[in-house]
Amino acid sequence: MTNQDLLALADTYGTPFYVFDLDALADRTRRIQTFFSGTASICYAMKANPFLVGPLKPQIERFEVCSQGEFHICERMGIPRKKIVLSGVSKTEEELMEVLEGGGAGIYTAESIRHLILLEQCGERKSAVLPVLLRVTSGNQFGMDRETVKDIVKRRKEYPFLHIIGLQYYSGTQKKKPEKVADEYRNFLRFAGELRDELGFEAKELEFGPGFPVPYFAGERWPEEEEWLNALKAAIEEEPAPVKVTLEMGRFLAAECGTYLTSVADQKRNEGENYLILDGGIHHVNYYGQMMAMKRPEMEFLPRKEGGSPETMWNLCGSLCTVSDVLVKEVPLPGPEIGDRIAFRKIGAYSVTEGIYLFLSRDLPKVLFFSEKEGPVLARDSLPTNVWNSPNEFNERKDRKQWKS
């Protein structure tokens, strides 16, 4: 996707908007799958970007679903139930029964004893045996500690409506060292070995979240991507597990396919500082690890016309009425003018859902798909949020005015 494509989209759809390059997404997914072919399969953690569930449907073997809302997105996208890993730290009986009434999911995770009991009770009500992965904690609120997991495995015959097929483990994102990822996998595999040797439990599935990083900011030094991939693949291959290994990925798959385009709405100079006011802001752009706009993400200035102005330093601020709405400080730009565009790259993961969208009741931005075959497709038009920030009695009045934010 070229800068000319972006500018053409801006002329057609206006700004701000997200655009996801589906060709780039497909190429990246295929490359990672090919790299781990014969070693592990890939599960997409859809929390990274739920808009990509449909485009990834033909390529991805499994989708990790962490809420009932995410489950309904998969339903609308026609994701086969057998591809869904129903995960999430909070599950209710009502939600589980709704899933089971519609045919169930491929796999369920248990994050606690309560989850296990709920799954057992729901399976009994439906006279169905549910395939379950036990989530092993990495030392936080997610999953269960190893002694608890061992106790469950020891008493597994007490759960006749559960088929405990294996383990799940994820310790966080943006890891710093490739060897840390490899060591975590080895430790995870050793624990599966302990369950086999001590309790006679033969795991059939291991789902592992490597937490590979995405380098977002200028000046940061990260190992090359191949180092991360090679380190984990070597760890998997040096002691092949007699089970199916699935790698859960979200950010690592999705980040690079996304661009956010915003326009200069105003410019000013206050007490010696240059400011650009953009029609987007921090409610749309969220990079993991950003620190009060001090880090510069991968971005590009797209002026409407070429000029010979010398570069001066500018602070890029958004459209929210808060001093916190600063995207980047001290960026050198050559004479920016109102209407010029700025593209923020690697925005394919999380920003589209993590922003503080309801603050100031501004509209949700458009979401576009782009591919060489289909061209641009409007995946979601801009949506007003003011109706969510006012009482239902007012919103339900047929004669109300839909104020644009």
Lowest-confidence range among 265-279, 317-331, 369-383, 385-399? 385-399
Give, in order, the Cα–Cα distances in Å from 90 to each of 61, 62, 95, 110: 24, 20, 10, 10
pLDDT of residue 239: 78
Please compute the mean of the pLDDT values over residues 121-142 and round it to a whole number: 96
Q: Which of 3-17, 65-79, 273-287, 380-394 has the lowest mean pLDDT?
A: 380-394
Task: Give kind and range of the element (H or E) at residue 72.
Answer: helix 68-76
* Angle formed by the axes of helices 68-76 and 93-101, nearest 10°: 20
Nearest to 21 by CA among 380, 262, 381, 376: 376
Predicted pLDDT of residue 355: 85
Question: Nearest-CA neighbor of 373 among 15, 3, 11, 26?
Answer: 26
Instruction: Determine contact, residues 26/55, Cβ cutoff 8 Å.
Output: yes
Q: What is the pLDDT of residues 170-205, one digit of tens each?
A: 988 998 899 999 999 999 999 999 999 999 999 999
| Nearest C-alpha neighbor of 52 from the set 27, 21, 31 | 21
Q: Which amino acid is at 216?
A: Y
Handedness of CA 88, 93, 94, 99 (dihedral sign): positive
Give how far Cα 252 sits from Cα of 95, 128, 211, 249, Å: 29, 35, 8, 6
Q: What pLDDT, on a 0 to 100 scale, did the predictor assign at position 1?
A: 86
Residue 163's SS3 state is: strand
Residue 405 to residue 394: CA distance in whole angstroms: 17
Please indicate whether residue 243 or residue 382 has the higher confidence score (pLDDT): 382
Give per-residue pLDDT as tens, 203-220.
999 999 999 999 999 888
**Cβ atoms within 10 Å, residue 77:** 17
Instruction: Round to whole Å and give the CA distance between 256 and 25.
Output: 8
Categorize the per-residue pLDDT at 262 as very low, low, confident or very high, splitting at 50, 70 and 90: very high
The pLDDT of residue 35 is above 80? yes
Yes or no: say if 203 and 192 are a contact pair by the CB < 8 Å rule. yes
pLDDT, average across residues 360-385? 95
